[in-house]
Structure 1
């Protein structure tokens, strides 16, 4: 299942060509960190619903506390209510349908009120001030930030992706360079496998050892059995 896999896709730049080719045939929901390339590509796409990350919006207001503590904390308190609802639903292990219903009942009024507040205050602060930047960021993306309410399978933020990316960010600071584009592609593949193992609570060394032992003899039609998301089910006993 795709929902138990992590993919690092290496590209030589950060322009539109990467996501455009990778997602050329995609239809469904994309959740991003608000990077402008996705807006340009998919904002008006008929088959793609673009949603954003509430955690990224929240961080802007954390930075804005020094600018206007009272108003920034108001926004943070409202966002905290949304996260408390998410935590409660996880504790109750609600399915997607019940998550959607709970969000519409409890999160919708908060989001509607907060969206109105953003609109009312978008010109109150200097655009270059921390508060002005936070409001502008959230107000511009508010439809996408609120869209998770409509889709029970979506999360309020993309922290799952952020957590998967963190080891790569730490490693990049240590070794700085991959050496070549080909090496970077292989590195991305290995990070994909390791992150997917972690996602499926699999020991990375045991998985690698088993894959290296079996991959030469396994039928190519059965290669899917070696994916971390399927490995436990098909691993020989």
Structure 2
């Protein structure tokens, strides 16, 4: 199983190194990844029959099979990743400082912190400089008069070439 998963990640690495566009990644996944995923599914199906369901391995197999349709979605879109490593890496700095933020002062302060952290990470994901993005938001926020005005201040509404 680990060998098969390793093959999947090698193919994903090759796609990144070759800077394949999403359509090419999709085609590669259909041709080369889908057969590996089919082997993984066959192994899970076989092992679920011979593994005690309450054992750690049995629970892991049952969980994997229960999530199979969701896992397979990444084969249908070349923009999707096979895991959530990008999200995990993005939140790591906040998770590391979690104990420091237990003392946000109030639930309202904690919600405000979460909102700012989310904006920062989304800005990064959209290719924006978080400091410059927040500077623009704080300068333009007092002039926002409608929901549409606020939407234009979201990171998705701005781009590196066309800041709000």
The 3 A distance-change label for structure 1 pair 197 and 153 is: closer
Matched, 1:233 2:161: yes
RMSD: 2.7
Task: Decide whether the 8 Å contact of 1:225 with 1:231 is kept in 2.
Answer: no
How does 1:1-237 map onto structure 2 within 5 Å? 75-217=1-143, 226-229=153-156, 230=158, 232-235=160-163
Task: Decide whether the 8 Å contact of 2:123 with 2:130 is kept in 1.
Answer: yes
Task: Decide whether the 8 Å contact of 1:96 with 1:153 is kept in 2.
Answer: yes
Distance in 1, Cα, partners of 2:101 & 2:150: 32
Task: Decide whether the 8 Å contact of 1:225 with 1:234 is kept in 2.
Answer: no
Runs of 4+ in structure 1 over 6 Å off: none
Distance in 2, Cα, partners of 1:170 & 1:196: 19
Distance in 2, Cα, partners of 1:205 & 1:78: 42
Flag structure 2 segments of 5+ consecutive residues without an equivalent. none
Flag structure 1 segments of 5+ consecutive residues without an equivalent. 1-74
Distance in 1, Cα, partners of 2:25 & 2:154: 29
Deviation at 1:207, TM superposition (A): 3.2
Greater fraction of residues in helix: 2
Relative to the length of structure 1, the TM-score reads 0.58
Deviation at 1:181, TM superposition (A): 3.4
Task: Decide whether the 8 Å contact of 1:82 with 1:107 is kept in 2.
Answer: yes
Task: Decide whether the 8 Å contact of 1:100 with 1:150 is kept in 2.
Answer: yes
Greater fraction of residues in strand: 1
Distance in 2, Cα, partners of 1:99 & 1:106: 10
Relative to the length of structure 2, the TM-score reads 0.79
The 3 A distance-change label for structure 1 pair 151 and 201 is: closer
Task: Decide whether the 8 Å contact of 2:127 with 2:159 is kept in 1.
Answer: no
Task: Decide whether the 8 Å contact of 1:89 with 1:99 is kept in 2.
Answer: yes
Distance in 1, Cα, partners of 2:76 & 2:131: 40
Q: How many residues align?
A: 162
Deviation at 1:138, TM superposition (A): 1.2
Distance in 1, Cα, partners of 2:47 & 2:81: 27
